A and B are shown apart, each in its own frame.
Chain A
């Protein structure tokens, strides 16, 4: 039993990382007043961009020396994943902010795109619609963990500082709470919101890259498996606060790690264990597990600002 729990800690850190990155991203977006349900799709597009870029870069080198390790390739892949996330987030921001669309519908549309567009891309590059070729140049491991694990946990204090100790953070929160007031004192609402949504895309894209070139070594269709939605729930449970988000994503990460650990045992059938994080999410969100009242979301969340 003790060995099980010892094994659980690194596994928890690993499965928390994508959730933490994405949830922090979602926090920026929602603090600025834009609902970002597109996170699931952003993770997928980020994962796809990272995997395809890495594979395309290493293919000519591998053709000459098989299994060659090149240091810079995975980092370019990581960058591509982040940029892919930013690009998709930009579409979401454009539709929501410029065309004043319903933010949930727009996010849903992007999630739907993430179900089908990767198939077309994979068919173009690899001739099948479900997964990419396996890559050799994965992200390196530092002391057994991907650099993104360190980055994710480092981002928690950084986000806290950004959000509560800098003028930019004050403006961001103002835009999400009372845009009229922020507008009156000269804050460019649209610019703040575009920035925040694209920042969430950047973090979501990194989470996707972590999945496809850090955790696994290929893109598999629909590989995010609800992580974007769980992060969204973790963000709400964490009360739109970096430290709260750290706690809630650790909870979900631990559930995930436990589920993986229990796969082999005979405690519960694996197919049901896979549903555990989702059941937990619902219980947590409806306040059944915590006696604390839910925190109030940013006041202007999801509302269109007419300027």
Chain B
């Protein structure tokens, strides 16, 4: 039987990916250019007995999301820049309380209301550092409609597996362009569900790390009665200020990500084997970068592209290697220098690092990239 295919927007593909992953709850607040995610979920969720709720604001939406997740549901929220800023406190809550959830940020220009219908990649540092305190983050950056579909499934899998919020950063170009998307058959893509506890009810400790970095999470109403708080807590979930417990908990929550890099990191390498010029590109910008690489190769320039699909944790090790191999790493992005900071940090001066930034609502085009490469050469 032929596979189901459809022509659809990135935003619609995101909603379809969520449904494939088993999402049964959506809470959000409308904001351009993310609204189609909510609209599709409002149509599709009730059909499968799931729930859609439009909350009174973005803070309420992520609050409802965390509440729903604690009942065992797989949950999605979508928003854009200003909404993402509002959610930050509770993204931190989901980190410390270790509650799985997926948040899509369809990036527009900014700061503030910025350019509601213009594309941007300027919430990249916010995705890692937006909330207060020390914590790990998982941030994915898909670049096509098909990839948005598949990466949304992966986002749910990572959220459930690592018991934490996962952010998907899409730029407006990818969110609103239409492409052919091929749906996966049931069972074709892996779908991970959070681990439920198997211990006796009286022995359950929601943050008991004695058997691993990620303790099982019981659903509210499943017979396990426990406490969830945003305060630093001991393994039983109750607040503590004991220095060694607070320290261990904070470190474990970072370790669960940083000690599982092989599982979490994902990237595409395009013509990098002999590359002297490496384009570090993501999202829609990587599509221009790929075009530029092809053009440059025709002219005999040894160019290649490194494209992270997991942007956080940052692919330090591989970028460090590329910095030794290459003459220069060039980072085109629709902001005035966000991920290039990370490239510079990791390159440690081993190669030249250059930036192409654009914040006028126009995409970075291949010509701009080619010009920069020639300038560096």
- Whether chain B is bound by chain A comes out as no
B residues touching A (Cβ–Cβ < 8 Å)?
none
